[in-house]
Amino acid sequence: MTQQPCFGSLPKRPASWQQAGVVVYAAPFGRTVTYQTGTERGPEAIIRASANLEWYDIELDAEPYRRGIHTLAFPDKKAMSASRSMVPWVQATADRILEAGKFPVLLGGEHSVSIGAVRACAKRLGGLTVLSLDAHTDLRDRYNGSPLNHACVMSRVLKAARPVLVGIRSAHTEANRTIARHGIAMFPAEEALFDKAFPRRLLRELGPTVYISIDLDVFDPGIMPATGTPEPGGLGWYDVLRLLHLVFEHRTVVGADVVELRPIDGNAAPDFLAAKLVYKLIGYHYYLASPEGRPAKG
């Protein structure tokens, strides 16, 4: 394995494995992309951008890095050479982090990297809900001949956990049938943006234990153009932060990922947005969850 720079190039010596409560790990995988290629470069771009973060969080009035962030080395090329090797690598890595009692944050890579992370959490925690923030349902059973395609992520999640979809702006008839058959909760972007009852309705759909998967195309392409499959419309920065704040405050979040960044040469803004989003997830984990790991409220 090749050692990579740590998340944030932290202002002081990075936290050791023993010291850190949060572990960042990466799956630079982009083998099944079907539109714009380059998502395998996402994790490196996020880590590079994170070196320019301000470590004080205005919202939290805190410096979350002081609680400890450890970054694992990137996997070797063999592990990322195909879906059949990538998925078990991610699952085994997430399981090791969970076994140590730490909070795993996965950097993608295309959305299929989430499959292994969800499987690891679901294996340890019964009744897991996966909150998927995404422009797409990702509910195809197979795509381009593969059940592990990025368009099939939530179909694979269904085998291990219950997905809740937020931010959807593009669907298909196969997804509609799957949603109806399994009773999947789906909130199109316009509901998340304009329905005043959305926060209450979302919490009703979430079980006590939640894994959060953020496909960056959930954001409006005006602020996040650097994705493999952009869709018109979408959520803004503060829309997503309010949603995440709500979930961390009222549910036990056991892990998260940020995926589908496709870096654009000469435009660092999307990379920085992704890096700051990762830091917000870490801050919410440290400052919004109750000390016992139970929901802070509700």
Please report, for the domain that includes residue 79, its CATH number.
3.40.800.10
The mean of the pLDDT values for the chain is 90
Q: What is the pLDDT of residues 206-253, one digit of tens each?
A: 999 999 999 999 999 999 999 989 999 999 999 999 999 999 999 999
The pLDDT value recorded for residue 293 is 41
C-alpha R_g of the chain = 17
- Between CA 143 and CA 132 the distance in angstroms is 19
Distances (CA, A) of 203 to 159, 189, 295: 22, 16, 12
Beta bridge partners of 219: 235
Q: What confidence tier does 290 reach under pLDDT thresholds 50, 70, 90? A: low
Average pLDDT for residues 182-194, to the nearest whole number?
96
pLDDT at 12 over 70: no
Direct distance between the N- and C-terminal alpha carbons of the chain, in angstroms, rounded to an integer: 43
Q: Please indicate, yes or no, if residue 6 is contained in any of the structural domains.
A: no
Q: Please indicate, yes or no, if residue 298 is contained in any of the structural domains.
A: no
The pLDDT value recorded for residue 295 is 39
Q: What confidence tier does 1 reach under pLDDT thresholds 50, 70, 90? A: very low
The pLDDT value recorded for residue 140 is 81
The pLDDT value recorded for residue 2 is 42
The pLDDT value recorded for residue 209 is 96
Q: Please indicate, yes or no, if residue 234 is contained in any of the structural domains.
A: yes
The pLDDT value recorded for residue 298 is 37
Q: What is the pLDDT of residues 43-88, one digit of tens each?
A: 999 999 999 999 999 999 999 999 999 999 999 999 999 999 999 9
Average pLDDT for residues 129-137, to the nearest whole number?
96
Q: Please indicate, yes or no, if residue 139 is contained in any of the structural domains.
A: yes
Q: Please indicate, yes or no, if residue 13 is contained in any of the structural domains.
A: no
The pLDDT value recorded for residue 291 is 52
Reduced to 3 states (helix: H, G, I; strand: E, B; else coil), residue 69 is: strand
DSSP single-letter state for residue 59: T
Q: How wide is the angle at C-alpha 67 spanned by C-alphas 52 and 248, nearest 5°?
A: 90
Share of the chain above pLDDT 90, in %: 77
Domain that holds residue 142: 25-288
Q: Please indicate, yes or no, if residue 296 is contained in any of the structural domains.
A: no
Within the chain, strands assigned E span 22-27, 69-71, 103-108, 129-133, 162-168, 185-188, 209-215, 252-259
- Between CA 177 and CA 161 the distance in angstroms is 18
Q: Please indicate, yes or no, if residue 77 is contained in any of the structural domains.
A: yes
Q: What is the pLDDT of residues 146-169, one digit of tens each?
A: 766 666 798 899 989 999 999 999
The total domain count for the chain is 1
The pLDDT value recorded for residue 57 is 97
What are the two backbone dihedrals, phi and then psi, of residue 210, each rounded to the nearest 5 degrees?
-130, 140
Buried b vs exposed e over 205-237: b needs ≥16 C-beta within 10 Å? Answer: bbbebbbbbbbbbbbbbeebbbbbbbbeebbee
- Between CA 74 and CA 271 the distance in angstroms is 18
Q: Please indicate, yes or no, if residue 14 is contained in any of the structural domains.
A: no
- Tally Cβ neighbours within 10 Å of residue 240: 23
Helix axis angle for 237-250 and 198-205, nearest 10°, is 50
